[in-house]
Structure 1
Amino acid sequence: MDLKTPLYDAHLEAGGKMVSFAGYTLPVQYKDSGVIKEHLAVRNQVGLFDVSHMGEVVYEGKDALANLQYLLTNDFSNLEIGRVRYTLMCNKNGGVIDDLLVYKCSDEKYLLVVNAANRAKDVAWMKKHLFGEVEFSDQSDQFVQIALQGAFAKEIIGKLTKEEEIPKKYYSFTEHADVGGVTCLLSRTGYTGEFGYELYCKPEDGLKLWNLLLETGQAYGIIPCGLGARDTLRLEAGMPLYGHEMTEEITPLETDLSFAVKMKKEDFIGKQAILDKGEPKITRIGLQLTDRGIVREGANVYFKGNKIGQTTSGTMCPFINKACAMALVKKGIVEIGSSIEVEVRGKNLTAEVVAIPFVKK
């Protein structure tokens, strides 16, 4: 049976259309708005998301850093306290188990945020590879996570939080911020391509924080947003999604995530397999339809009559009003501006290879 976040009743009262997702019942959209309106609210004003389904785990102890260095692809040896870093966790074949964020709370404490659908798998993998003096705990049920995203997010947080407690840099955070009387981890992060914050608080404070942000944001046109807009926003911003642009069969280098893979650091799980594969033979590209239609995942991509790959995500992007998709294709075949074809329901539609992200702001 699906779990409910502490904000479940608030979603029902707001007219949320509830669906099953990653083991939770969550709003895909709200009846008085819908995906397009919610998407545009984030791009033009501000939107509020319940992302409490995400998982949170903590590494503590003298060997916490050593564990992360071996477990994850990025390098955390130079990560400063109060900063966040994106990374991948690979299997021994170099495929991606998950992508996640690492928050450095102190020299011996790190908070890791994982994808909801992968929580059980991730926790089992992490426990299997623990070593040395480290304490590991799955604290996913101890957090409500709320994402405040959009141009006016700064104004809203500024009305509720002391200036010195507001994180200034992208991918930075304040571990114990007072947001309108609610103690939160306040983070300058997001999954929409917009300025925004993610807030982590205790479950018993979740409803208070949700309502406080909605009330404070009324003057800025805030609306609650669902999973539908979260997906269209991330795709329009060219952000990969686990299970689509990343799988356990695809290495990070094959989906253009090399910035988060530090091959020069000491050994990490999957490093040798990635080295053994050599130069990636596939790459991730952006497509924009020039014919009428919408491309979804799993559509075959052709160049000059030859199949070169498949789409991994696709939709109509509301802000730019274009049908776009991401695809994994053979490397070195096409470039920006190339004309290709995508098979949709037995018909080939023309598309152009374009730069990612699709939205330029």
Structure 2
Amino acid sequence: MTQLRRTPLYPLYASHAGVRCIDFGGWELPVQFLGIQKEHEAVRQQAGLFDVSHMGEFIVTGEGAEAFLGRMTTNDVTKLHDGQAQYTCMCYSNGGVVDDLLVYRISAEHYMLVVNASNIDKDWDWLTLHQPSHVQMENVSDQTALLAIQGPLAEKILQQATDAPLAEIAGFEFIHDTSVCGVQTLISRTGYTGEDGFELYLRASDAPAVWTELLELGEGLGLVPAGLGARDTLRFEAKLPLYGQELTANITPLEAGLGMFVKLDKGDFIGQEALAYQKQTGVPRRLVGIELIDRGIPRSHYPVYADGVRIGEVTTGTQSPTLKRNLGLALIDTKYAAVDTEVEVEIRGKILRAKIVPAPFYRNPTRSTGGMKSK
């Protein structure tokens, strides 16, 4: 039996009485500390602190780094300035997704890529396969920890731990030469919850002390440790994709509603021809929001029907902790994707009525910054 991997914070999990860990893509990670509902509400109302150190980080350097990343990703990396980050996808030649990721531009010849934990080896192999001789890459995933502090009070809490001018960091911007709790940290204003917040990249050995101090500093403001369960419900309400569900090697960014991150006119990139054809002819499937009319909760891979024919399947579903509605994201035949179209979901052999509803299901009306990822 393969040994599950653990983040540098694993020894601290046991100090939380309600913690429950699960196997997540080969990692032993906390699904909850206090309960998914409590953690979800804390992030929407105050703040939550996530250990996402299982994510992968690659350093890409060299005079050809920008051109290399331009060929490998769907977004336009040439639009980045130093200190800016960008959400993007890597695609296969057929338009399916290798992974969705963040690109950080530290300088014109120095970038950091942040990739999904379950795809670290696959992404590294894919990039290495196409790596030009004048570009250098380093996988620093094992040496790097990643903490995410998310919620409306995230800035107020984090500011107690750093001299960095957090209010001056706009969404998808970062400061890389600063400190948090006295240790060197890259502070990025991104996230994966639909709320404002920051992600902190630091040495793995420094993570336990920073985690502990941040929880102490934020205790009076409602900061709580949060696990994968709340992370999933939060990103789901905001319609942020999870690789393996909303994005796969067989689902294109256009089908997943991520067309704004695909720049077909930027120059040659892998998957461009297939994506351009799909945009020209129209996507055959779309990712939509659905709501159960009958009593039931849609779950991943439940079949969706219309007119007696299977038209797709649920990618993610749950009872929304914020809205208290039984909602799902589903990839379905485009001709049934209009809002208010009635469909059916099969749940454990029963056919239940549902309808197409607008998504994202949740938007924070006061949020002007924040980001797209990390998982």
Note the C-alpha offset of 1:168: 2.2
**Which deviates more, 347-356 or 35-44?**
347-356
Match in the other structure for 1:2: 4
What amino acid does structure 2 have at the position aligned with 1:244?
Q
Match of 2:59 in 1: 58
Deviations 1:151-176 (CA, angstroms, capped at 9, x unpaired): 11010112122253665211111112
**Aligned residue type for 2:210:** L
- CA deviation profile, 1:25-44 (whole Å, cap 9, x unmatched): 111112xx211111111111
CA distance in 2, matches of 1:22, 1:332: 34
Deviation string for 1:294-328 (max 9, x for gaps)? 11011121224332211111111111111111011
Q: Give the counterpart letter for 1:317 in structure 2.
A: S
Cα deviation, 1:210-256, whole Å, max 9, x if unaligned, reads: 01110110011111111111111111111111000111012111111
Would the alpha carbon gap of residues 50 and 344 (structure 1) be closer, same or farther in structure 2, given more than 3 Å must change? same
Q: Relative to structure 1, is the Cα distance of residues 360 and 275 closer, same or farther in structure 2, using a 3 angstrom cutoff? A: closer
Q: CA deviation at 1:257?
A: 1.0
Q: In the superposition, relative to structure 1, how do residues 165 and 61 fare at CA in structure 2: closer, same or farther (>3 Å)?
A: farther
Residue 293 of structure 1 deviates from its aligned partner by: 1.3
Aligned residues: 359
- TM-score of the pair, normalised by structure 2: 0.93
Deviation of residue 275 (structure 1)?
A: 3.0
SS at 1:228's partner residue?
helix
Q: 8 Å contact 1:55–1:113 — kept in the other structure?
A: yes
Aligned counterparts of 2:151 and 2:336: Cα–Cα separation in 1:
37
Alignment partners' CA distance in 2, 1:290 and 1:219: 41
Question: Deviation per CA, 1:167-210, whole angstroms, max 9, x where unpaired?
Answer: 52111111122222121100101111111111011011101110
| Partner secondary structure for residue 346 of structure 2 | strand
CA contact (8 A) 1:166 1:177 kept: no
Return 5+ residue gaps in structure 1 as ranges.
Answer: none
Matched, 1:353 2:365: no
Distance 1:114 1:219, change over 3 A: same
Q: For 2:265, what is the secondary structure of its paired residue? A: coil
**Corresponding position of 2:25:** 22
Report SS of the residue matched to 2:12: helix
CA distance in 2, matches of 1:144, 1:2: 17
Letter in 1 for 2:10: Y
Equivalent residue, structure 1, for 2:138? 137
For 1:39-76, what per-residue CA distance to the aligned partner results, in whole angstroms no more than 9, with x for missing partners? Answer: 11111111111000000001101000010000111111
Moved more, 145-154 or 265-274: 265-274
Specify the code of the residue in structure 1 equivalent to 2:327: C
Q: Which residue of 2 aligns with 1:104?
A: 105
Which SS does the other structure have where 1:332 is aligned? helix
Unaligned 5+ residue runs, structure 2?
A: 365-375
C-alpha separation in 2, matches of 1:229 and 1:138? 29
How far apart are the structure 1 equivalents of 2:145 and 2:337? 44
12, 15, 26: which one pairs with 2:14?
12
- Tell me the percent identity: 44
Give the partner amino acid of 1:313. T
Secondary structure of the structure 2 residue equivalent to 1:255: coil
Do the aligned partners of residues 144 and 261 (structure 1) sit closer, same or farther apart at CA in structure 2, a change above 3 Å counting?
Answer: same
Aligned partner of 1:181 in structure 2 is 182
- 1:63/1:132 contact within 8 Å kept: no
Deviation at 1:279, TM superposition (A): 2.2
Greater alpha carbon shift after TM alignment, 272-281 vs 347-356: 272-281
1:300 is aligned, of 300, 303, 309, to 303
Residue in 2 that maps onto 1:74:
75
CA drift at 1:274:
2.4
- The answer to whether the 8 Å contact 1:167/1:188 transfers is no
Inter-partner Cα distance in structure 1 for 2:159 and 2:15: 27
Which range moved further: 174-183 or 273-282? 273-282
The residue correspondences of 1:1-361 to structure 2 (distance < 5 A) are 1-15=3-17, 16-30=19-33, 33-164=34-165, 168-277=169-278, 278-361=281-364
For 1:97 and 1:163, locate their aligned partners in 2 and report how far apart those are by CA, in whole Å: 35
- Decide whether aligned partners of structure 1 residues 166 and 106 sit closer, same or farther in structure 2, where only a CA change above 3 A counts: farther
- Following superposition, the deviation at residue 329 of structure 1 comes to 0.8
Residue identity in the other structure for 1:284: L
Q: Which amino acid aligns with 1:3?
A: R
| Paired residues of 1:153 and 1:195 also in contact (CA < 8 A) | yes
C-alpha distance in 2 between matches for 1:251 and 1:238: 16
TM-score (structure 1 length as normaliser):
0.96
Q: Is the 8 A contact 1:291 1:351 kept in 2?
A: yes
**Match for 2:113: what amino acid?**
L
Contact preservation (8 Å) 1:166, 1:186: no
Q: What is the one-letter code of the residue matched to 1:279?
A: G
Which residue identity does 1:289 align to in structure 2?
Answer: L
Q: Determine if contact 2:61/2:111 at 8 Å carries over to the other structure.
A: yes
Q: CA RMSD in A?
A: 1.3
Q: What SS does structure 2 have at the residue aligned with 1:67?
A: helix
Secondary structure in structure 1 of the residue aligned to 2:175: strand
Query: Could you tell me how far 1:132 is from its partner in structure 2?
Result: 4.2
